[in-house]
Structure 1
């Protein structure tokens, strides 16, 4: 679904500055649980699930187990999750249909993350497969990006690796054509209590289970979702 069309006319307010990327010892800690919502909020009322049906998702939002991820392409801790945890999580549980995984952009770390998520949204509006390909590319080559080169490098990658109109994607990113979708993710993440990246919200049978922060091992997700 075209999120620009879906969200047109939706008023989204600005989002205050957040804490940033989890790093150092803090991202090796235990998963955090939001005590106010663990047993009372459902997938229909939790802020992380606002307009979840128009988010990039691997699997179905109606699957028994659902992970909603708030990530920033420029966040080193997000990269550790994407490089060390996500491949096993995807192969073992997402690709097998046990878990659905929704990705929400949360550009709060380095400046190049902001144009990068604009490009991700512009790509998603055209081709969901290309969106996931670009997301993986940002993390794989994270150290090569900076605010001054991210859109140029993005255009080259999309032109080489996907069938989307790379120039049109970058043009839309520069003009922030899909900024309403970015702001929706930022506002929903703030409402859910995401103060750093990556932050994950886990749902089981329609009920919110727990909040996990940092580049946690796949076993943390398995335990929380009773896998």
Structure 2
């Protein structure tokens, strides 16, 4: 009887040892997962802002980047409903500069309009680019069925530009566009989007960190926090 009890004690001790070991492994696993999540949340990506269209003062301490697609309905909603608050609360107040970069993923219209807009920026400058940028979203059809159709054709883009530029300027942009002079800059945007893990639009980054919030208050807080880190 005594020997049997002693054996049971050994088995119980071994069992307890393995349970404690298993718990320790689980706890360590959770620590690593938490640290991994923390690292991901605070990851800072290097972004080259040179030769990119922007709004705001160059002295602004924070840079916001939007990756967008002119064919994307959600980007249109962002432009009409979310961006005005960014303009008034962050850009006009001098808190942040705002950049637009291309992530053209829906169809050929996405790529065509992005490259044409790049040509507008290169040939006519920053101010005209933003006028054209706004026009493209204004003219985006409300019917979602259009996504598979060619809407932003060469002719459409040229006629749209004529609303804000003279004939000489339009010809200059069209010539540049047909010569594919905007190709390198568009490729640069697309490569950067890929490096940053962009998978949809609009996607926002604040000083190289991805914005994961949902409201303008979330974005303002992230900008304020980023300014403190300077």
The TM-score normalised by the length of structure 2 is 0.70
Between structures 1 and 2, the one with greater helix share? 2
Deviation of the 1:158 alpha carbon: 1.4
Number of residues of Structure 1 aligned to a counterpart in Structure 2: 182
Structure having greater relative contact order (Cα 8 Å, sep ≥ 6): 1
Where in structure 2 are the equivalents of 1:46-57 lying within 5 Å?
46-47=45-46, 49-50=47-48, 52-57=49-54
Q: Which has the larger radius of gyration?
A: 2
CA gap of 1:200–1:148, structure 2 versus 1, over 3 A, is closer
In structure 1, how many angstroms separate the alpha carbons of the residues matched to 2:56 and 2:201? Answer: 22
1:198 equivalent in structure 2: 202
CA deviations 1:30-68 (Å, max 9, x no partner) are: xxxx85454453xxxx24x13x12211112455222211
2:165 equivalent in structure 1: 162
Q: What secondary structure, in the 3-state scheme, does the structure 2 residue paired with 1:143 have? A: coil
1:171 equivalent in structure 2: 175
1:77 equivalent in structure 2: 74
In structure 1, how many angstroms separate the alpha carbons of the residues matched to 2:115 and 2:38? Answer: 33
Deviation of the 1:90 alpha carbon: 0.5
In structure 2, how many angstroms separate the alpha carbons of the residues matched to 1:119 and 1:185? Answer: 14
In structure 2, how many angstroms separate the alpha carbons of the residues matched to 1:149 and 1:39? Answer: 38
2:86 equivalent in structure 1: 89
Q: What secondary structure, in the 3-state scheme, does the structure 2 residue paired with 1:54 have? A: coil
- Structure 2: stretches of 5+ with no match in the other structure: 1-36, 226-230
Where in structure 2 are the equivalents of 1:23-62 lying within 5 Å?
35-36=38-39, 38-39=41-42, 41=44, 46-47=45-46, 49-50=47-48, 52-60=49-57
The TM-score normalised by the length of structure 1 is 0.71
What is the root-mean-square deviation in Å for CA atoms of aligned residues? 2.4
User: Structure 1 residue 99 and structure 2 residue 96: aligned?
Assistant: yes
Between structures 1 and 2, the one with greater strand share? 1
2:154 equivalent in structure 1: 151
CA gap of 1:36–1:154, structure 2 versus 1, over 3 A, is same
1:141 equivalent in structure 2: 139
In structure 2, how many angstroms separate the alpha carbons of the residues matched to 1:132 and 1:166? Answer: 15
